[in-house]
Amino acid sequence: MIDVLTSATLKHLREDWWNDDFTDFLMAALAPRPGNRILDIGCGAGTAEVRMGRRHLSQLQLVSIDLRFDRVAAAARQAAGHNQRLAVAAGSAVALPFASASFDSVYAVAVLQHVLDLSGSVCEMARVTRPGGRVLAVEPDNSARHWYCSEPAGVEAYAARNRFFAAVRRAAPAAPDDTVGPRMPALFATCGIEPVEVRLFPVSSVHLSSPGDQVWAARRAAVASLMTPAASPDVIEAGRAFAAALDVYEQAARAATGAFVEMQYTMLFATLGQRGA
């Protein structure tokens, strides 16, 4: 469900990781009551809305926003397919198109890791939350992605991965903060949200034999997607080295016996706060 060799961030986390236990946590953290208005920032395909809707809390008003129109359209279709009512809007996390104090609870899951103006987005979450309302941000620490492999070729592939994504980051005009998850409590306080609780959720992936064909294909596709004709020479060079290291690693993994192990994990930081007066 995560693969450090395909991305520098947990960009597909919402759709691939969400489970019933996390829905239980979300409902307990937001503590919705009948008639409450709840805003989901960066709704993606509407995973959270469908899972929350299944709890059948009466008169709950769910509102979802995403930067991409196709995603909010998908979320609306997803909700409609489950006979759930959902209000959607396309917009930015740093300029929410809602009046101040218009929601009882606001949350974002694995979204702020992609935002350049992190402080601005958190302050926007505070602005649209009523005094006493709840704010929840669940974000990773992308600088602390841990990797272990029993094959030396896997260790070298991971090192090549680090060099490649470092080159991609250097070539970008700006990049989000990798350490977004641990920073949330301090940012909450700065924006007028009292931090109440921080809970950690592990996210991991383990292979006890060579990963399947789809995994290797996804890894190569991720490299190729960033090696565009417009990419810098450093990115192209590092990408070619990474692709070559992946080839060697795949051969070693497929040739390995039952002693093969590939493990990776990181942490999600779920920060819950209460909007001040």
Residue 106 pLDDT: 97
pLDDT tens for each residue of 158-213: 999 999 999 999 998 888 888 999 999 999 999 999 999 999 988 889 999 999 99
**Residue in the block written with tokens 């959720």:** 201
Residue 78 pLDDT: 76
254 has a pLDDT exceeding 80? yes
How far apart (Å, rounded) are the C-alpha atoms in residues 229 and 49? 39
Residue 215 pLDDT: 95
58 has a pLDDT exceeding 90? no
The pTM of this model reads: 0.88
45 has a pLDDT exceeding 90? no
Q: Residues 208-228: what's their mean pLDDT?
A: 94
pLDDT tens for each residue of 25-38: 989 999 988 889 99
Residue 237 pLDDT: 96
18 has a pLDDT exceeding 90? no
Query: Taking a C-beta distance cutoff of 8 angstroms, is the pair 187, 112 a contact?
Result: no
DSSP codes, 112-145: GGG-S-HHHHHHHHHHTEEEEEEEEEEEE-TT--
pLDDT tens for each residue of 225-247: 999 888 899 999 999 999 999 99
Percent of all residues in the chain with a pLDDT value above 70, rounded to a whole number? 95
Q: Which fold has domain 13-142+179-202+268-275?
A: Rossmann fold (3.40.50)
Q: Name which of 230, 259, 248, 235 is nearest 169 in CA terms.
A: 235
14 has a pLDDT exceeding 80? no
Q: Residues 92-110: what's their mean pLDDT?
A: 95
| Residue type, position 74, single letter | A
Residue 88 pLDDT: 80
Query: Taking a C-beta distance cutoff of 8 angstroms, is the pair 65, 88 a contact?
Result: yes
Q: What crossing angle do the helices spanning 180-190 and 118-127 adopt, rounded to 10°?
A: 50
Under DSSP, the state recorded for 233 is H
pLDDT tens for each residue of 59-89: 788 888 988 888 788 877 877 776 777 788 8
Residue 52 pLDDT: 77
Collapsing DSSP to helix, strand or coil, 13 comes out as helix
Please provide the average confidence, as pLDDT, over all residues in the chain.
90
Q: What is the location of CATH 3.40.50.150 in the chain?
A: 13-142+179-202+268-275
How far apart (Å, rounded) are the C-alpha atoms in residues 180 and 152? 31
121 has a pLDDT exceeding 90? yes
Residue 56 pLDDT: 66
135 has a pLDDT exceeding 90? yes
